[in-house]
Each structure stands twice: as C-alpha cells, then as structure tokens.
Amino acid sequence: MRTCQGTWFSSRTVLVPLLLFSMFSTNLAEGEEACETLPSELHIIKEEFDELGRLQRTCNSEVSVNKCEGACNSQVQPSVITPTGFLKECYCCREGFLRENVITLTTILNVRLFGWQECYCCRESFLRERVITLTHCYDPDGGRLTKEGQSTMDIKLREPAECKCFKCGDFSR
C-alpha cells in the first residue's frame, strides 16, 4: 500500500513571507477524475490437496473480472504551518501510482520550488463475490482430468462492483 509521502526541495533556502504563499494558493491537480470499473482478464490457477498435504489436482482458466483504474484529483496549496511548506489533500489508494509534478514559481526572490508528489488512483468502494468455474484441471502428473466432478473446479472470487476516489489513508471502507 502506498502512502502520500512526498519530498520537498528548494533550490536555495529562503524565508518567503506569508503574503507570498497566499498568492499561490491553488488547486494544482490536472484533469478530471476518472475512477472507473473496467473489465480485465486474469489467468487463475488453483491447487487442491488431500488431508496429508499431497497434491490432488491443479485447475486453471482465463477469467473475466473487474478492476479499478483511473485518476483522482489531489489538492496542493502553500502553507506556513506544515514543515514542507505545502498542505496536501491527497486522494489515493492501493491500486494506483505516484506521479511527480515539477513546478516553478517565479517570485521577487526568484526561488525555484519543486519536487512534491501527487497521488492519482482509485479503489473499490464495493466488492461483489461470485463463483467462477475453472475448466482446465490436471492430475499431479500433468494429465488432463475428464471425469465428472474432477474436470472442473468452482472457486469464489471477490471483485470490484464499483470504484471511486478515497482520501489517502482512509482505509475504513
């Protein structure tokens, strides 16, 4: 799981007045939120063992499942209270990625500020359980099983039914 920890750098150390910070208070996230549930293909392999731990059969199949994918807007604004100099309201999740944004703020002091990271991602807001049938089953020697009751295997799978953006660190759902 990723957290929204960014790194803050400055090209030189200076004290910037509070008034200067308030001039640049803005939402720096780009684009629209696009968190959605998309179809995906998975290759699932399931092994079955007896009471003594010996392999009885291995089943596999290509399965269509849903996944969460997309981008969520984050807000970054200057702050004199935080150690980094910026207050981040970051929306992210476990199925996401970090993108580093570099900006240049030209001021009277000609200071270049750069290097924070924003999170862009989405995650499932509701998981649905469904039964999937694996249709290719093999014995421990690799021979294909064709006997009724051995040639397929039913497994339960939880997949996203709905995806949306969550605030970083909010794992209550």
Does any domain span residue 139? yes
Instruction: Give the residue numbers spanning the domain of 116.
Output: 9-164
User: What pLDDT, on the 0 to 100 scale, is given for residue 153?
Assistant: 95
Q: Is residue 65 in a domain?
A: yes
| CA dihedral angle for residue 138, residue 143, residue 147, residue 149, rounded to 10 degrees | -10
Instruction: Determine the average pLDDT of the residues in 100-107.
Output: 38
Structural domains of the chain, count: 1
Tell me the average pLDDT across 97-124.
44
pLDDT digits (tens, 9 = 90+) for 31-75: 566 788 889 998 999 999 999 999 999 999 999 988 888 777 766
pLDDT higher than threshold 90 for residue 11? no
Instruction: Give a yes or no: residue 122 inside a domain.
Output: yes
Q: Would 169 be classed as within a structural domain?
A: no
- 97 in any annotated domain: yes
3 in a domain, yes or no? no
17 vs 117, higher pLDDT: 117
**Residue 171 domain-assigned (yes or no):** no
pTM (2 d.p.): 0.53
Residue 143 lies in a domain: yes
pLDDT tens-digit series, residues 109-120: 444 444 444 454
